[in-house]
Structure 1
Amino acid sequence: MIHLVLGGARSGKSRYGVALVADYVAKGYECLFVATAQALDEEMAARISRHQTERAQDELPWQMLECPLALSECIEANAQENRVILIDCLTLWLTNQLLEGDAWCDAKAALLRALKTAPGAIVLISNEVGSGVVPGDPLSRRFVDEAGWLHQAIAELADKVVLVCAGLPLTLKNADAQEC
């Protein structure tokens, strides 16, 4: 089961993703938190520290992994039946990939392959960045384009896609829903 949770900054998307994980834990699943952020400056280090503190205060029995680049390998090594993996977030992973060099296309393809074959449940959190103005520099424009294409590719694979705005979830896709 693949869940894609999209939203803007401070939209409530991570909180929604954690609630999904809690539902799986209530059914007996183990839970793994995969963080993709890198502390490249003081503000990001403080943000990461705050998120780590929040996870430690959760009532969920998190296992924690940091995976800023090798996300497909992380999924392949850790996905299993009766485990839910929360990946927070895809757009930070994309940023890391674009800053790393020319391997983005291979990394994206590997991620999609890993998601297609992963057992258990995966909750992917990502920032919806395509609703704003067109960025003024080439790297930022590429980031917005690649994020949009990545979201489309994962949404096609996903069983459920939710957009969170102001803490409210809007279901965009639900493969479990019965049609009239």
Structure 2
Amino acid sequence: MENSRLYFITGGVRSGKSSFAEKKAVELAIQSGGNLHYLACGRSSDAEMEERINRHRQDRHRSPLAWRTSEYATDVTRIGKDLDAKSIVLLDCLTTLLDNELFLPNVPLTEGFLHKVFTKIIKGIGEIRKEAQSLIIVSNEVVQEPIFQDEFLHTYGKVLGLLHQAIVERADEAYLVESGVPLRMKAGIPE
């Protein structure tokens, strides 16, 4: 979609970024008469993740507008068949998507593979953006954490940092959420 808007929202774990993203999506839908789509990338891998997934579901059920939820741990472009020019898509979250795409069993983390994963995610974001009115991407600020002692985590942090830079470059607005407070880091042109 030619006038599609891209919003990037990041922050630390439990910073309130998902709640802010959901409020932003609802606000956009109310302003435009759009429909809400939640693109969940998380997998229920343990009790804590299951609790987080359930909490996000409950938050959406309490929303003043109905959400349509699609669960794609990888290959997020599959949501495209459900979108139209009035769709507001919330992708939650980029870090989980990267984890799902990057750490496959028995696949070595070569530079070629890392580039392929990076390109696949960026291309997928572009494809969703072509179909939707707005795309909101939530991510975690893990690259500020001291994770680089482990080679896998170092690789993950490196690719995530590159994804953040590429997405923010394309974004109309970017936010960092700390302690529930969104800080606008990049402002779009007012409409």
TM-score of the two chains, using structure 2 as the length reference: 0.84
Going from structure 1 to structure 2, the CA distance change for 1:156 and 1:78 (only over 3 Å counts) comes to farther
1:24 alignment partner, one of 28, 36, 48: 28
Separation (CA, whole Å) in 2 of partners of 1:124 and 1:112: 9
The separation in 1 between residues aligned to 2:11 and 2:66, in whole angstroms, is 25
In percent, how many aligned pairs have the same letter? 27
Residues 137-158 of structure 1: per-residue CA shift (max 9 Å, x gap): 1111111111110010000111
Structure 1 gaps of 5+ residues are: none
| Secondary structure at the counterpart of residue 81 of structure 2 | helix
2:189 matched to which residue of 1? 176
Q: CA separation in 2, counterparts of 1:152 and 1:50?
A: 29
Question: 1:72, CA displacement in angstroms?
Answer: 2.9
Contact 2:168 2:174 in 1 (8 A): yes
Amino acid at match of 2:8: L
Asked whether the 8 Å contact 2:118–2:163 carries over to 1, the reply is: no
Match of 1:35 among 37, 40, 46: 40
Greater alpha carbon shift after TM alignment, 166-175 vs 42-51: 42-51
Q: Which residue of 1 aligns with 2:14?
A: 10
Structure 2 partner of 1:144:
157
Unaligned 5+ segments in structure 2 are: 108-112
- The CA deviation at 1:112 is 4.4
Residue 117 of structure 2 corresponds to 104
Give the counterpart letter for 1:35 in structure 2. A
Instruction: Please report how far the alpha carbon of residue 135 of structure 1 lies from its aligned counterpart in structure 2 after TM superposition.
Output: 2.3
Moved more, 43-52 or 166-175: 43-52
Counterpart of 1:54, as a letter, is D
TM-score normalised by length of structure 1: 0.89
